[in-house]
Amino acid sequence: MVNLSPNGSAVWVVSSTELALTPTAVALGKFDGVHRGHRRVIAPILQQANRENREKESDSDSLATDYIYSTVVTFYPHPQEFFTGIPHALLTPVDEKVQQLRSLGVKQLVLLPFGKELSALTPEEFVEQILVQQLQCQQISVGEDFCFGKKRSGTAKHLQFLAAKYGIPVTIVPIQTHADENVTSTEEARISTSLIRQHLANGNIELANQLLGRPYTLIGVVVQGQQIGRTINFPTANLQLPKEKFLPRQGVYAVRVFIEENQTSAIIGVMNIGNRPTVNGTHPTVEVHLLDWVGDLYGKNLTVQLVKFLRPEQKFSSLEELKTQIQLDCIAAREVLSGNTRD
């Protein structure tokens, strides 16, 4: 994926280091989810870039070219997808990742094309060619468990040693953990993308949101569905998501919905993820019913924040029975959401 111009989110996105804005302060990692641990890794480069840029702005002899760009460097496609050949579902597809990085104040996202050439670089070659020569890196931040280079042979400490040869400081951020009385080890308590995926797959939305530091969201455009909801007075918006978006457990959720770019006014609703067995559905769909709202949503972008898993998907004997259950789902969603439309 290449975005060769500054997009609406004011984050410069490139998939070639030749097009990157330099010099840079770099946070290295996969950053899928941009969760609480990831944000701790990104924070040092934001602080350093902002501090140095303020100093240069106050220096009349400083040139505009001295500006340091806070830059997140990650890989596309996901390395696991390259090595296994199997599509890897993402908590934050690229567009959503850009939104999250913009909210943090990151100026640039570099998507290193992950293939045979990049995966064959030794740690020394990666530092010299990518970080020093191409990105003109001035500072680096990584998580304590960061690995890089051929066969993941480089560690965070190794990176610190190699970068020191070029006078580049490396901040190693300790693994972030969360408080949970049910976990018994540091490994279980660590904030990680895999743990968030596990919670989402189990329908543990509150725990997933706690680790993310924000609600898990589904962002997509409303497309025409079978319109069966209209026949039982529960019209739904059929959401088309990026094909690589990770879907949580199939079932019914209490959600908050934002229409288009209006991120200040939430509409409460009920969402169903599943195959719709009652109407003989054959493939997964994501459908949202908005409470206390009427209007045409076709072609509009919706941001759906998941708040609580209400029940698993099930097959009903008739549309009337389904209608009754949806009424109960709406009541349950109101209890969860009413009077609390924003965190």
DSSP class of residue 89 equals -
Q: What average pLDDT score do residues 181-200 get? A: 79
The values of phi and psi at residue 111, to 5°, are -100, 95
- Is domain 215-337 in CATH 3.10.129.10, yes or no? no
Q: Which pLDDT score, from 0 to 100, does residue 1 have? A: 40
Cβ-in-10-Å burial (0-12, 13-18, 19+) of 65 comes to exposed
Concatenating the DSSP letter of every residue in 292-318 gives T-----TT-EEEEEEEEEEEE----SS
261 has pLDDT over 60: yes
Query: Which of the four pLDDT bands, split at 50, 70 and 90, describes residue 82?
Result: confident
- Tell me what pLDDT residue 4 has: 37
pLDDT of residue 65: 58
Tell whether domain 12-173 is in CATH 3.40.50.620.
yes
Burial class (CB in 10 A: 0-12, 13-18, 19+), 5: exposed
Which of 35-39, 176-180, 253-257 is the least confident region?
176-180
Domain ranges of the chain: 12-173, 177-214, 215-337
3-state helix, strand, coil in the chain (%, to 5): 35, 25, 40
Q: What is the pTM of this model?
A: 0.87
Structure tokens at 190: 């660590």
Task: Tell me the C-alpha distance between 117 and 199, whole Å.
Answer: 35
Summarised one tens digit per residue, pLDDT across range 310-333 is 999 888 777 888 888 889 999 999
Mean pLDDT (the chain, rounded): 87
pLDDT tops 50 at residue 161:
yes
Beta-carbon contacts of residue 29 (< 8 Å; ≥ 6 apart): 38, 41, 72, 74, 142, 143, 146
In degrees and rounded to multiples of 5, residue 216 shows phi and psi of: -70, 135
Residue 40 CB partners (closer than 8 Å, separation 6+) = 173, 176
pLDDT tens for 113-123 read 998 999 999 99
Which has the higher per-residue pLDDT, 137 or 281?
137
Tokens 């009413």: give the residue.
338
Asked which of 157-166, 241-250, 273-282, 310-319 is least confident by mean pLDDT, the reply is 273-282
Residue-wise pLDDT for 89-102, tens only, equals: 999 999 999 999 99
Dihedrals phi, psi of 68, to nearest 5 degrees:
-100, 130
C-alpha distances in Å from residue 64, one per residue of 53, 54, 135, 138, 180: 10, 12, 17, 16, 48
In three-state form (DSSP H/G/I as H, E/B as E, the rest C), the secondary structure along 172-212 is EECCCECCCCCCCCHHHHECCHHHHHHHHHCCCHHHHHHHH
Mark 151-177 as b/e (b = at least 16 C-beta within 10 Å). eeebbbebbbebbeeeebebbbbeebb
Provide the token pair at 158: 């190794």
Q: CA 296, 300, 303 angle in degrees (round to 5)?
A: 115
Please determine, for residue 341, whether its predicted confidence score (pLDDT) is greater than 50: no
